[in-house]
Structure 1
Amino acid sequence: MEINNAIGALGALAQEHRLSAFRLLVHAGQDGLAAGELARQLSIPHNTMSAHLSTLSQAGLITSQRHGRSIIYRIVPDAMRDLMGFLADDCCQGQPELCGLTPTSLRSTCG
């Protein structure tokens, strides 16, 4: 992952509602969640949720797909893996396995 992509992803996650929405989407897995459901669960207005989801989407962390009248949002597992890998690259003086972080553990953690 390029440093500018990591900065964009971390910046997108550096806000309470966006981070909470992302965590809900991680929990939802490949089923994803509708934008309205995310707004309801986070108790924020739909238009505000839409802006937050747009930021996460522009950072490449989530994707969307229209399903009838709803838009379903899902995480992009590769983007999450790449970000986690980027953050772990220099862990424990370049030996991420000492921190319990390996490519295998990142893959199993991120779907």
Structure 2
Amino acid sequence: MPLTRDFKETVKARADTDMAFRAALLGEAVELLLNGDVDTGKLVLRDYINATIGFEELAEDVGRPPKSLMRMFSAAGNPTAGNLFSVISHLQKATGVHLAVHTRQ
């Protein structure tokens, strides 16, 4: 069955109406980063940004140009830890999704 909507539109529509989906998407991005899959984690985080506040609002709030943030979260991007955690912190505040880290054995 062919898709009738663009992937980004579908993710955004779901994120707009489903808090659990929003939380799972951000959680998955951070979990990928913590497990060392930085490339995939950046791309999932990019999807999360596009589905929630967008790069324009994020840029305004973190004081970085939108294009710089888009590059940072592209496949070739290389964000510093400071930039990465600043963005994640802001996204938690802006979207109402708050993550916690737990140990597991």
Q: TM-score interval w.r.t. the shorter chain?
A: 0.3 to 0.5
Q: Select the structure of larger CA radius of gyration.
A: 1
Q: TM-score, normalised by structure 2?
A: 0.35
Q: TM-score, normalised by structure 1?
A: 0.34
